[in-house]
Amino acid sequence: MLFPTVTFVVFFIVVFAGSWALARRPRAWRLFMLVANYVFYAAWGWRFALLLAGFSVVTDVFVRLLASTPERRRWLLGLALAIQLLPLAFYKYFGFLAVNVGALFGGGTGSAPSFLQLAIPVGISFTTFRGISLVVDAWKGRSGPASLLDTGVYLSFFPYLAAGPITRGSEVLPQFRAIRQQRRKIDATRALFLISMGLAKKVVIGDFLARTIVDGVFSTPSQYSALDVIVVIHAYAVQIYCDFSGYTDMAIGIALLLGISLPVNFDRPYTAASVREFWRRWHMTLSRWLRDYLYIPLGGSRRSQPRIYFNIIVTMVLAGLWHGAGWTFLVWGAMHGVVQAVEHGLAAWRKLRGAPEPAPGRYGLLWRRALTFEFVCLAWVFFRADSLSRAGSVIARTFTGWTVTPSVGWVALLAIAAGLGFQYVPQTFADRLQSGLSRRALVLQGVASGLVLFAIAGLLGSEGVTHFIYMGF
């Protein structure tokens, strides 16, 4: 059940009405939301809903065991993590490992057997990370056990279930319990603004670029000129940002209408002047999760410099594999890890020499932003390509078949420019726009949002909306 569909609109109207009607009775509200969450997830497949229910029960049991064990038994934490990771390992990585192990010993065919070609449950990686955070926080004593009902609602909350953001229990569980008070804090203006902007990003820019230029070039790069391929590499960077941040905007807006505030997940990532800064702006909830539950447990920055570099690279390689079971994702993660390790090493070297952190001028900052963006675009090639050989073909094509002008249409070029240009618009502009809208009557706000959604729906035409990229992770 995709957000920008008639089916979801009908579903959400019913949920919204029920949520408001039951907000004065927090337990009844949570029971209602649990049912709504599973109806939403069952639309993807009832077997997935059963898997999610089992995962929620197992997580709740281990949270209670770990919270009631003052000795902080590591073996119990290890058992909990192993069981939580089993569904992810089976659905997402078992086939990949089987193929590669078979190929290593000369018995592989290069593709997974039919019995291993299983449909990956929607949002399984996001759900696994949320469950792990509950278990680890209970083991560390940062949070106590919640009721099974609360755990179930937290792990299945439909706005973020399929593709994030990756929330922590400490961020939303108190809101679920205090929904009566949360309802008074609903910022309908911000919610409608985010939903409209998210849908515009997804449909007007992301889906348009995917259909018109990106998919074709990545399928058969040899049929396009070098300049076309270079343009499309940058177009994909815009597409994936608009697709994923668009989903996040809609998820945050939808949750707001239900009285729940979710954390921000993007902060103009393509304005970053370093790869480390990029990860502080891109998929921010994942970056924080990796820092708190992987990088710091590995030793973080408290070890020797070689060990710090190792920790950074391992964290990013695992982040790549979290996105997908494939060598392309591993390379993508390794590229980001190596460059971040180099940046960390340069910063450590300057600190050792007593040199201050450089403060680049206007042109120096532009150069660093451009260099960072070009690296990110290069890495996205491996993220998007379905194999290392295809990624190599795309990159190789940028050196051959040169023409004076690209064959890409001006509308696509305008969409790319808009997707990048909007990131340089100050946040204060959006804040002032929302503030101006909030002073209008709520009915007028709803009409304005409806007109925007109607215009975007007209752009969909007969094509319909495509799946969100991160729903496959």
Report mean pLDDT in 10-residue bins for the chain, 473 residues.
81 92 90 96 89 95 84 84 91 76 61 56 90 92 85 95 88 88 75 88 90 91 91 96 93 93 94 95 95 91 88 95 90 96 89 75 88 97 94 93 79 92 84 72 67 62 68 73
> Is 465 buried (19+), middle (13-18) or exposed (0-12) by CB count in 10 A?
middle
Distance separating alpha carbons of residues 57 and 54, to the nearest angstrom: 5
Phi, psi of 348 (to 5 degrees): -65, -40
Tell me the pTM: 0.89
Report how far apart, in Å, the C-alpha atoms of 79 and of each of 84, 124, 126, 144 are: 9, 19, 20, 19
Distance separating alpha carbons of residues 173 and 178, to the nearest angstrom: 9
Active-site option among 283, 323, 336, 467? 323
Distance separating alpha carbons of residues 206 and 209, to the nearest angstrom: 5
> For the chain, how many helices (H) and strands (E)?
23, 0
Distance separating alpha carbons of residues 465 and 473, to the nearest angstrom: 19
- Residue 385 gets which letter from DSSP? S
- Site of tokens 């290392």: 388
Distance separating alpha carbons of residues 301 and 131, to the nearest angstrom: 26
* Sign, CA torsion 56/3/9/190: positive
CB atoms under 10 Å from CB of 39, counted, come to 15
Closest Cα to residue 194, out of 447, 442, 468, 430? 430
3-state class percentages of the chain: helix first, strand second, coil last, to nearest 5: 75, 0, 25
Distance separating alpha carbons of residues 104 and 100, to the nearest angstrom: 6
344 is catalytic: no
pLDDT of residue 459: 57
Report how far apart, in Å, the C-alpha atoms of 319 and of each of 55, 334, 450 are: 22, 9, 38
Task: Tell me the one-letter amino acid at 249.
Answer: D
The H-assigned helical ranges of 43-73 are 46-67
Distance of CA 165 to the CA centre of its chain: 6
